[in-house]
Structure 1
Amino acid sequence: MSLSDRPLVHPDRKVSGFRPFKAFHHFSKLVKDKEDTEQVFHIIDALKTRKSVRQMEEFLATDEAKILLERDEELPKLLDDHARWSQCPPNSLARHYIDFMEREQLTAAGLVAESYKFKPKEERLPDLYEWYIERLRDTHDLFHVLTGYGRDPLGEMCLLGFSYEQNHSPGVLFITLMAARQNKKESGLKEPVDAAVREGRRLGREAQKIAHSDLLSMMSEDIGDVRTRLNIGTPVAYRRCFDLYREINPQYGTLEERLALAA
C-alpha cells in the first residue's frame, strides 16, 4: 500500500493509554541495561496520548509534509548509505552524522530492529500515523548530531527532554524525569543535572521541529547553518555538567573526544 492510500489512523489502532505500572516495569529494565533501547518503545507505548495524533495531523497539513509523503523515502536505508554522503564538505551535517554513527558503532537500521523487538513489522498497522512515528524514530540520531548531546547517560537524558518539547510524548517525559532522578542519585550532582535537563527542554521548545524538517535536503549543508536555520541552541549547562562528571569519572574523557562536537 502506498503512502497516499493509507488512512490517517487505522481503525484498529489504539492511540491512547495510561499504564504507569507497565512504564515503571520497563524503566527498571532500562536502568539495568541502558543499551536496551527496546524498553524505551514499551514505555512510550504505555503512556501514549492522542496529542501525538493531533500533532501528526497538523504536520500533514503542511507543504513540507506533503513533499515528504510524495517522496516516500526509506529514511534508514538512505541514512545508512554513508557512501552517498562521503563527498559532502567536512563540516556538513552529513559528515558529522557519518562520524557520529561510525564512532558510536550505530546504524539507522539497528534502531529500526530495536523497535521491531517491541512490535514486529508484520504487526504494524498501515496508516500515516505509523509513518509519522517511524519518522520520529528514524531521526533520533540526527537529533544527537544537531543538538550536540552525546550518548552518555547525561546526554541521552537531556536529549529526551529536548525531544519531549518537540514531540510531546508523555513516555519520553517520564523517562527524562526518572532518568534525572536516577542520575542525581548516582552522581550526587543535583542542581547541575537539573539545570542541564531544564536547558534541554528549553532548547527543544525554542527550536524548529527537527523531525518535521526535510533533513535529507540539508545533509550537504554546513552543520552550523542547519542549526541556525532550525534555531537549535548550544547546550551550555550540559557541557558544564559533563565536566563535573569527568571530575568524578575521569575515564569519561573530554567532551570533544566523546562527542566530536562542532566548534
Structure 2
Amino acid sequence: MTEVFIHPDRRPAKFRPLVAWKHMQNLIADKEDTEQVFHIIESLNGRSFEKNFHAFAASDEGQALLAKKEYLPPLLDDHDWIRALPDGTVGRAYVDFMEREGLTAQGLVEESEKFKGAMRDFDDDYYWYGNRLRDTHDLFHVLSGYGRDALGEASLLAFTYSQNPGMGVIFISFMGARQIMKSVPKEARVMDCFREGKCNGAAASRIVREDIIALLHEPLEAARARLNIAKPVAYLHALDVCADIGIEADQIQIAA
C-alpha cells in the first residue's frame, strides 16, 4: 500500500461564509475572474477536501495514481501527440475543445497560482491531489457534455460537486444558476440543469480516479458509457429554448 505523505503542520481550511459571499459577488461581476473560485472554495469547503482525498487514497485506483504522482499539464498541453490519436477519441475531443476555447492546462495552473491559499504552503500528497482536481476540470467539460457558457459552467460545477463533494463548489453552482434564471426564459428551466448536473455526477464513476492518459485514448462515447456519464438533456433543452429567441450559448449571462 502506498504511503501517503501529509505535512504535519497542515490544518483544514476555516469555514468563512461571509468571505465566500464577498468573493461570490466579485465572480458575479466578472465570471472570467476565476481566481474568485479558489477563494470561495477555500472559504466554504472546511474538511471536505481532506475527506475526499482520503477516500481517493483508500481506493485501489487512487493508490496506483499516488504511486506515480503524474503531473498532467505538460502532457495535456502537448497537443501533437494527442492529435495523433484516432478521430472520435476523448483526446481528440479534448484538444478540439481546448483550441476552440483558447485554453491551456498551464493557463489554469497560472490562475490558481494567483491565489495564495493554504494549499500553496505545503508540498505533500494533498497538494498533488488538489492539482489533479484542477487539471482535470476541462476534461470534465468534454466528458460531461457541458459547455463553457455560464449555464454550462454552473451545471458542470453541480456535476463536480457530486464527484468531489464540497460546499464551495455547490454554492458557486447554485448561485450561478440562480443568477442565470434572471436573464433567460423560464421555459429554459435552469434549476433542472442544476439538479441534472448533480444527478449525472453522482451516477458517474469518479473521473479523478481514472488513468487520464489512458482515458484520452478511448473513443469518447465508449468512455462515457463505461463511466456511466448521462447525456445532459436538461442543459441541451435550455440552450435550445434560448436559441429559439436569439440567445446563443455564449450570450447567456450571470445577471448582476
* TM-score (norm. length: structure 2): 0.91
Alpha-carbon shift at residue 186 of structure 1 (Å): 2.2
Whole-angstrom distance in 2 between the partners of 1:247 and 1:223: 29
2:15 equivalent in structure 1: 18
Select the residue among 29, 38, 44 that pairs with 1:47: 44
1:187 shift after superposition: 2.0
Structural RMSD (CA):
2.2
Match 2:216 to one of 198, 219, 225: 219
1:61 paired to 2:34: no
Q: Classify 1:120/1:181 alpha carbon distance in 2 versus 1 (closer, same or farther; 3 Å).
A: closer
Q: Deviations over 1:78-104 (max 9, x none)?
A: 000111211111100000000000000
- Aligned counterpart in structure 2 of residue 237 of structure 1, from 221, 234, 237: 234
- Report the CA distance between 1:236 and its aligned residue: 0.4
Whole-angstrom CA distance in 2 between matches of 1:19 and 1:121: 14
Question: Residues 163-204 of structure 1: CA distance to partner in whole angstroms, max 9, x if unpaired?
Answer: 001100100011011111111122242761011111111001
Q: Percent identity of the aligned residues?
A: 47
Question: Which of the numbers 142, 157, 164 marks the counterpart of 1:160?
Answer: 157
1:7-42: CA deviation from partner (whole Å, max 9, x where unpaired): 543233231321111111111111111111111000
Matched letter for residue 114 of structure 1: E
The Cα of 1:134 is off from its aligned counterpart by 1.0
Q: After TM superposition, give the deviation of residue 48 of structure 1 in Å.
A: 1.6
1:112 and 1:209 map into 2 onto residues whose CA distance is: 22
Corresponding residue to 2:110 among 108, 113, 124: 113
Instruction: Note the 1:141-160 alignment, pairs <5 A.
Output: 141-160=138-157
1:206 lines up with 2:192 in the alignment: no
When residues 55 and 245 of structure 1 are mapped into structure 2, their CA distance, relative to the original with a 3 A threshold, is same
Q: C-alpha distance in 2, partners of 1:202/1:5?
A: 32
Contiguous gaps of at least 5 residues in structure 1: 259-263
8 Å CA contact retained: 1:6, 1:128: no
Distance 1:194 1:66, change over 3 A: same
Question: What amino acid sits opposite 1:64 in the alignment?
Answer: E
Query: Which residue is 1:171 aligned to?
Result: 168
